[in-house]
Chains A and B, each alone.
Chain A
Amino acid sequence: MTTIKRITFGAAALALAVAAFQAPPAQADGKSIIVQSTTSTQNSGLYDYMLPIFEKKTGIKVNVVAVGTGQAIKNAQNCDGDVLLVHAKPAEEKFVNAGFGVKRSDVMYNDFIVVGPANDPAKVGGMKDAPKAFKMIAAANAIFASRGDNSGTHKKEVRLWKAAEVDIKKASGEWYRETGSGMGATLNAAVGMGAYALTDRATWISFKNKGTYKIQVEGDKQLFNQYGIILVNPKKCPKVKQAEAQTFIDWVLSKDGQDTIASYKLNGLQLFFPNGKSS
């Protein structure tokens, strides 16, 4: 019967649709917050380690949106998050001073490093002085891969070039290459074209496509990388889940939270060093 065929066809389409809808609905009991954060922390695997511990304790689900620091701050200004956890102190303070955030607290730190190919064309291997190393890279016209995305790492890198008195705008497209993408994508690009790159140590340790690359410059005080946490201001963004968000911030800054951060290791190496103070 044609009718039966028609029904079969319709039923198949319907079944497909129903199957599509039947998947478990997202977040049945709405206790969740959104943390706008950076790719470096996400790629390191820290959240995958730390958040289940917090969720188990409090029942609050933490959803991390990992983008560049610049975009994370922009998203938070649009009220699209409850907590901001990034690493660009001046920008963070500006965010708080403009009234978008309640208060900024230090959470943890690690450091930036300069990585480069084993043959080290600019001969910067083993140096400590980052601006000087940058100067030598520029002098050698050695290729340098920059994030170029206004992220925390990128902002730090721009400050280092300034300290090295190198005009990167002139070199853009020549030896200075802005990828306009995240840390991992930039490292992939650097490895692909034999370029030096500035990266945070956590991303580097967890990065798997290292090729012949190794750390060339480390240990400079200027390479210090501080992470901060901020509650998005409920006065500006009424939808902010203040209680849950504050619970998360308090836990991250508590002894328990700080110990959790310290205990996260990859390949036997500690990736982040807690320096938060609970208020």
Chain B
Amino acid sequence: MQDFGEAFFTAFSLLFSFDADLMEVIGLSLRVSLTALLVAGLIGLSIGALLAVTRFPGRGVALVVVNSMMGLPPVVVGLIIYMLLSNAGPLGFLGLLYTPTAMIIAQAVLILPIIAALSRQVIEDLHNEYADQFRSFCVPTGRMMAELLWDARYSLLTVMLAGLGRAMAEVGAVIIVGGNINHLTRVMTTTIALETSKGDLALALGLGVVLLTIALTINAAVMGLNATAKRQAYA
């Protein structure tokens, strides 16, 4: 297929043309996904830390639920958020449907279980190492969670990255709640979907390459940070 070569050519000419529309789409993608990551991170890390350090009846069930929620299909999340935010739905009065905020909510819901489940594992591993020392010092539970989150920060960065990756790559949820409206809710993935449906496969693939390039850049930055942390035995 000649489309591959054309796609890469398209991708790089797109990237280096700094096309205003493309920059807007990339900017919105980053803004939506990073905000979703921030929201899901705050909640997800707290849940992860709580599940890691506490023992309560029903914890096993909670773990199974959180772990299975990692596999939530984006379309289902999109549909549920749509039904909640629709003017016919219970939260319609907020007027959030077809706005970036709706997309942020959908992505946050989508990646929350990923962050909670993966961070629970990371923090629990660290807690196994620290538990006796913390008990010896009589560290209160809340304090313990905070200290573990801080000491696991570099591993948790990788967890956050997994969340960001899923958020930036998904299309099913944002296209339903965002509507793929030009200059308002159009992001990288919905643009790719649109160009695919127009049959412009080279442009679609080119945008995919752009998305991949962004992902590579972010991953490389985090890996660099982690390598520094490892040298200091902080990770």
A residues whose Cβ falls under 8 Å from a Cβ of B: 6, 9, 16-17, 19-21, 23, 26-27, 34, 39, 42-43, 47-48, 61, 63-66, 75, 77-80, 181-185, 187-188, 206-210, 237, 239
Stretch at the interface among B55-63, B118-126, B195-203: B195-203
Instruction: Confirm or deny: B89 has a beta carbon within 8 angstroms of a beta carbon on chain A.
Output: yes
Chain A residues, CB < 8 A from B97:
80
Cross-chain contact A63 with B98 (CB below 8 angstroms) = yes
Chain A residues, CB < 8 A from B30:
20, 23
A185-B197 in contact given A17-B34, A34-B98, A63-B184 (Cβ < 8 Å): yes
Cross-chain contact A66 with B201 (CB below 8 angstroms) = no
Cross-chain contact B34 with A16 (CB below 8 angstroms) = yes
Chain A residues, CB < 8 A from B180:
65-66
B residues whose Cβ falls under 8 Å from a Cβ of A: 27-28, 30-31, 34-35, 38, 86-89, 92, 95, 97-100, 150, 153, 179-182, 184-185, 194, 196-201
Nearest CB of chain B from residue A148's CB, rounded to whole Å: 15
A185-B196 in contact given A65-B179, A80-B97 (Cβ < 8 Å): yes
Cross-chain contact A80 with B88 (CB below 8 angstroms) = yes
Among A63, A79, A187, the residue within 8 A (CB) of B181 is: A63
Docked CA distance A183–B196 (Å): 11
Cross-chain contact A63 with B179 (CB below 8 angstroms) = yes
Cross-chain contact B184 with A78 (CB below 8 angstroms) = no
Docked CA distance A57–B33 (Å): 34
Among A20, A26, A75, the residue within 8 A (CB) of B184 is: A26
Cross-chain contact B87 with A237 (CB below 8 angstroms) = yes
Nearest CB of chain A from residue B95's CB, rounded to whole Å: 7
Among B27, B184, B199, the residue within 8 A (CB) of A207 is: B199
Chain B residues, CB < 8 A from A77:
88
Docked CA distance A80–B196 (Å): 26
Nearest CB of chain B from residue A244's CB, rounded to whole Å: 15
Chain A residues, CB < 8 A from B87:
78-80, 237, 239
Nearest B residue to A71, CB-CB: B176
Chain A residues, CB < 8 A from B196:
184-185, 188
- Beyond A23-B30, A65-B180, 19 additional pairs, beta carbon < 8 A: A17-B38, A20-B31, A20-B38, A23-B28, A34-B179, A43-B194, A47-B182, A61-B184, A64-B182, A65-B181, A78-B88, A80-B87, A80-B88, A80-B97, A184-B197, A185-B197, A188-B199, A206-B198, A239-B95
Please, could you name 10 A-B residue pairs with CB atoms under 8 Å apart, sorted by A? A21-B31, A39-B197, A47-B182, A63-B179, A78-B87, A79-B92, A182-B197, A185-B197, A208-B198, A209-B201
Nearest CB of chain A from residue B1's CB, rounded to whole Å: 11
Chain A residues, CB < 8 A from B194:
42-43
Docked CA distance A223–B97 (Å): 35
Docked CA distance A185–B175 (Å): 15
Chain A residues, CB < 8 A from B35:
17, 20-21
Interface centre among B27, B34, B185, B199 (most CB of A within 10 A): B199
Nearest CB of chain A from residue B152's CB, rounded to whole Å: 13
Docked CA distance A210–B200 (Å): 10
